[in-house]
Chains A and B, each alone.
Chain A
Amino acid sequence: MIFKMAVNNVKKSFKDYTIYFLTLTFSVCIFYSFNSIHAQSAVLEVGNSSISYMQTLTNLISIASVFISVILTGLIVYANNFIIKRRTKELGIYMTLGMGKRKMSKIFIYETLIIGGLSLGVGLVLGIIASQVLSVMTANLFALNMTRFKFVLSIDAIIKTIVYFGIAFVIVMGLNQVIISKYKLIDMLNASKKNEDTKVKNPVISVSLFLVSVVLIGLSYNLVLDVGLSTREPLFLLSVVLGILGTGLCFYSLAGFLILMIQKTKKVYLKNLNIFTLRQVNNKINTNFMSISIICLMLFVTIVSLFTMFSYKANLDESIKGNTSFDASAVLYTSQTNEEGDSIEEALDQLDFSFNDSEEYLFFNEYALDLQVADIVSPYIDASNVHELENRADDRNIKVFTLTDYNAAMQLKDEQTVTLRDNELLVATNYGDKIESINRFMENEDAISINNQPYTIKNDDLIMDNIENQPHNTDFFYLVVPDDLSEELTLSGTRVNVDFGDDNREESEAKFAALFDCFNTIGGEFTQEVGFIQGFTREQATAILYGNSAVIIFLGLYVGIVVLISSAAVLGVQQLSEANTSLNRYTTLKKIGVTEKMINRTIFIQTLIAFMFPFVLAVIHSIIGIIVTSDAFATRNKNVIGSSSLMISIVIALIYGGYFYVTYVGYKNIVKNS
């Protein structure tokens, strides 16, 4: 009987529950899909090298999930409180009808269970769908092949989701009991009558405060644009503090400012329900300015970090190009041999390392010029690009390879060979799209002199392929010179590049990966014997290059989406509470002949403003933030920002827009059914 009543209640007030339901469902969906990452690796061709990154990611997500479940529980409690408040009158009526508190508690427990179970179910279904999308993304981020699409279902993640949200529901139920037991009948019956105190502020003070806030924000922008992203710089901290203060002050005074401004433009002020809308917004912002400011700042941090991560990733994709061309490659620098004059070939011999029949390999030499990149391009550096070369590997001597070796390497990866005349050379580098002076150099110079002998640059466009696998220093610059010249050059290292062939790829991969790992781990066992061989298989290089960024992006997305949902949900619940407390006003409006259309319009505008105000300021903050971070991370490819902003905009529009719509409809319903 009580259960039936609870079912009826949920049915009856389902519209009130929408936002609660939506928040729960979203939360469950996100929680499940990110926690099922581990299961997703099962359908991807994850090599050994990527597995460790996957493991790190899984662990980090588990840790983050603890924090996130705390946030989500808070959110659920918040949304639940709104529902209870909305229904205090109903509760009061139950009580006057003689229903005991115990019975009422039971009804609420059942209601929570019904809604919780429902949203858990729907959320899990959505989460399972979303995790399929996520696994495509995982493949993409880790640069893995998805040979066949397979349905991913993680029982572990399902259990975890149920446990975490089960706990959240228990907490909500417990709090409901506390709230119910504390309520007094008289409060319940009068609940809907209470009107929040309307705070009226002196308009002159509002305007001055608003101007101050604009100045503070402006100062903060100025400072941060000057000092950049240097978190230890006191000026940077000052800019953050000013920004936070400015934001808070801005929302504190915004409404008063707007009222004064709009009152001056009578055409807007005295039109339709604008007076009412303005006062509603004023009232709302004044009572909620703190939370609005916090939401604005959270949105700002989310947008900037999502952006930065995506552009970082896109940046990475750019710089990776040409750095994973061989199945395996390794180098033994002359400075790192155990015995002088040892070549990599001899070192491998000493280690009893042998090549299979299916493997093709090429031993070759690397020479160094007594010249650095900076020396070559320095005439083309001007005020606009003085910093270009900073932080680049420009302090090392330029690498040189002979034509024969270069062609052999080209053949190894089945590419066209080239010819050079005696006085010609080739320039290979990926600096071109980040260092403008290189391009100017290429345009203006025909030759580079080596040992006082000019060599004509044969290629018009820069060669963009590296001659080794290089996941760490992805910037490369080398020259290809005629064979004869090698006698005049200093040997800097010996190299081997390998093609695994078609047959035993997996075996070869495992063999080389094991070899390189022995050196890559600190104090690796072979180092003492033969010196330090640095090598990477293609898979290792890819895993290193993509692994870290993938981990960061996943975590960022996870946290970012949760923050977005939380912000939107809080805004939505606030707005619906506002609808509740303003009911009397709408009744009055209806009585004096305001049409339903006009009422819907003012609700739309109010909701839009509630969602847009914090968002717009967050976007403005973010523009500055993105300028600063892309400076810091040296975003070289400007298209990157375009493509990532599209992705982020879609995510934000879906979540934020969804909440906006649900809130608008919910608000309309509350007013309509009053």
Chain B
Amino acid sequence: MDIESLERVSKIIRTDIVKSLAKAGSGHLGGSLGMADIFTVLYFHALQHHPEDPEWEDRDRLILSIGHISPVLYATLAHAGYFPVEELLTLRKLGSRLQGHPGREHGLPGIELSAGSLGQGLSVAVGMALAGKMDEKKWNVFCINGDGELQEGSIWEAAMSASHHKLDNLISIVDRNGVQIDGKTEDVMGLEPLIEKWRSFGWHAISCDGHNMEDLIYAIEEARYVEGKPIVILATTKMGKGVSSIEDDHHWHGKAPTESEAIKFIKEIEEYYQD
């Protein structure tokens, strides 16, 4: 898919994130919007997958460790063809397959892992990557991590084990938006120098602009060619990207828009894509 088409998809995904959250009345808007470009590139360009056959054995696996940004995963999966787009409006409702944090037992196609307790997904990804190596599989495991999540000690247990076992089939993409619920990551619990941390743990670390499709495509391509090391892509993003009035505002980490805010936000998304 060319860059222009990817942009068009990301716009629809952003719009549907706002709509589904407004309908749900709760959920995490800021982080979901901020990851829309990355999810678009993954599902519409980078991942080997077949939406009509979600369990295809040779698919790339995508683990969403930060389950709270499920709205971006759901909107992307729906538009990729995993399930009907209308179902996005059932988000967080009783009986819905779209749980607040992804839950496999509810049967939504395309969900690899029930997750949402921070700091677990990278370990699960390590297990998958170990299995892939053992069985000499070609598929890769992509793990979406948050930057605040990197404060969990278990992330670094996983990081240590991934390089020890030379898991070059494991690619973590870190949503480096610099914020978390209480404020800036560097105020809450500093992460910098972050790229050095990953490198010293034996990872191949790449930084990129998480809103630049070309940059993202290049970073993922580079990641696929690395041998003997796990790869981390530190993707700089803005929480709330695409909705200018809430961009970079950590108050929108865990909030959903009201109906009228949603109308305003969708207008802002239109404007963002006109520029």
Q: Do chains A and B stick together as partners?
A: no
By a beta-carbon cutoff of 8 Å, the part of chain A in contact with chain B is: none
By a beta-carbon cutoff of 8 Å, the part of chain B in contact with chain A is: none
